[in-house]
Structure 1
């Protein structure tokens, strides 16, 4: 790395912040309002950023300010740099006050019902003054927020997939996604139930472009069937549960979540490829704050216990 060259670069942190704001708002006017700048000052700073990078970063379209290819590359690095600086500030704050801190953790369906709540409870028992912010959202959104530094770590399904190719993946335990229905659903009365019996039912399906959705559709394809025509895409656990219990939908659910629900039963049908590794998803080169590192340790601890309990069939405690 040529440190001397970096001392003379014209690209400053304020330029990266401005590029991020313009991208987020798609408008110079709204970006200027967000940053408490005049529009001429923001436009001038954006021109400075483009001069420092050596390429145009945005083009005006009917949809607003859209990043050019060079702008997209600049945004990727800007998010990483700003995320690192945010983490650095919080690490120093915790070094000055070790009992305090902030952990921002994201979770989708997997791991959100047992693993994460148990680990958070243990973290706060050790460090009562730590603030924990839990974020539930679709995997794509969570991965973007991890990259930008808005999240310290993610808890979820650990799998080889294009969406997680750049992340550091740490498996903790393995469990299976099962087909579930309300305990009164007529599918439970079917002998030797198969996908052919279920394809005409209403389904809650995983979000598009996720590994779980791909694998579910592959199971239908291998059975010579099209995916269910009547379906709702949903990922939030509360929405999924209500659609199953009150709406009569079929759904995929982690086994540990399904057995904890008194009004839900697992169908006696196993699908291929739906056993999963649950674990941590981390930014590949951003160090964790002390509190986030402690939460990661608690997640490993709880994950080891759940792996033992699932293997012995006793992980039935909500």
Structure 2
């Protein structure tokens, strides 16, 4: 069995429940993905999925394979990375997934330094929230994922490394009426039109929880967008509110936007890195984490007096 092909294909379909989504995740044509599943079913002599109009679900045999396949996948990736590190101690491609906070505030300087210190390593960035990037880390398509450390990880070989305390705030245009207040309350925000970055379900839950905790009806999001940049453009041009990490404030002020002076953050959480233990064998990965930690500490020191 070609573990890096057929079994990974099975895992992708099992986790997404959809051939199209799994094919996109694996960068495969759908007929090729279907062929790989058929090879597995022929090998085990049983159907692994039930096909439905809206997707695919595991059969009892498929669920048994799923339990074992996850462990096999983890060990396979660990072995491959450990052997590569032992042979060369170099990583040809460092594949990083990162959400908006890390993209805008923390990664650029680190990339510059890594290019100088590890010129043989190609740096690749996939811009998305951790919810979308974590499955790619599990399957070996990413090496490090930066984002909110909210999702519980039950894999033994994936470590969660805290790097930054994040305060979720509300972004508005500099001319927004609420910027005229020294302290903005939740009731001030209740009537505002909100924009939601739709890829980030955790932020949506935090905003709703913020209102519910204070005995108010959660706001109706006026705009949902899968483009973070489009959301920022709408805030810059209109009267909208967008939930973002307050740590991004200094990076957005030149574009005519500021985080509102809330009397309390919408929520607080830890952001950091998800990384496979075997990947830490590479010096370039350890150096990346060191650089991000240094930059995160600087950002935290700059922000603390304002919170």
Q: TM-score, normalised by structure 1?
A: 0.75
Q: State the match for 1:248 in structure 2.
A: 239
Partner residue of 1:292 out of 274, 285, 293: 285
Structure 1 residue 206, shift from structure 2 partner? 5.0
> What is the number of residues matched between the two proteins?
290
Distance 1:77 1:155, change over 3 A: farther
- SS in structure 1 of the partner of residue 10 of structure 2: helix
Distance in 2 (CA, whole Å) between partners of 1:117 and 1:76 is 39
Q: State the match for 1:3 in structure 2.
A: none
Deviations 1:53-82 (A, max 9, x none): xxx421233346532254245346536644
Q: State the match for 1:126 in structure 2.
A: 117
- SS in structure 2 of the partner of residue 110 of structure 1: helix
Distance in 2 (CA, whole Å) between partners of 1:242 and 1:216 is 20
Distance in 1 (CA, whole Å) between partners of 2:234 and 2:30 is 43
2:305 matched to 1:307? no
Structure 1 residue 293, shift from structure 2 partner? 3.1
Where structure 1 has 5 or more consecutive residues not aligned to the other structure, the ranges are 1-10, 314-318
Distance in 1 (CA, whole Å) between partners of 2:30 and 2:202 is 39
Q: State the match for 1:7 in structure 2.
A: none
Partner residue of 2:152 out of 161, 164, 172: 164
Q: Residues 1-318 of structure 1 correspond to what in structure 2 (within 5 A)? A: 13=3, 16-17=7-8, 19-20=10-11, 26=19, 33-34=31-32, 43=38, 45-50=40-45, 56-63=47-54, 65-72=56-63, 74-75=65-66, 77-78=68-69, 81-82=72-73, 85=76, 88-89=79-80, 92=83, 101-159=92-150, 163-166=151-154, 168-190=159-181, 192-207=183-198, 210-234=201-225, 236-261=227-252, 262=254, 263-272=256-265, 274-283=267-276, 285-288=277-280, 290=282, 291-311=284-304
Distance 1:294 1:74, change over 3 A: farther
**Contact 1:172–1:307, Cα closer than 8 Å, also in 2:** no
Where structure 2 has 5 or more consecutive residues not aligned to the other structure, the ranges are 21-27
**Contact 1:104–1:151, Cα closer than 8 Å, also in 2:** yes
Distance 1:214 1:64, change over 3 A: closer
- SS in structure 1 of the partner of residue 148 of structure 2: strand
**Contact 1:207–1:234, Cα closer than 8 Å, also in 2:** yes
Q: CA RMSD in A?
A: 3.5
Q: Greater CA radius of gyration, 1 or 2? A: 1
Distance in 2 (CA, whole Å) between partners of 1:59 and 1:31 is 21
Q: State the match for 1:6 in structure 2.
A: none
Structure 1 residue 249, shift from structure 2 partner? 1.2
**Contact 1:15–1:48, Cα closer than 8 Å, also in 2:** no
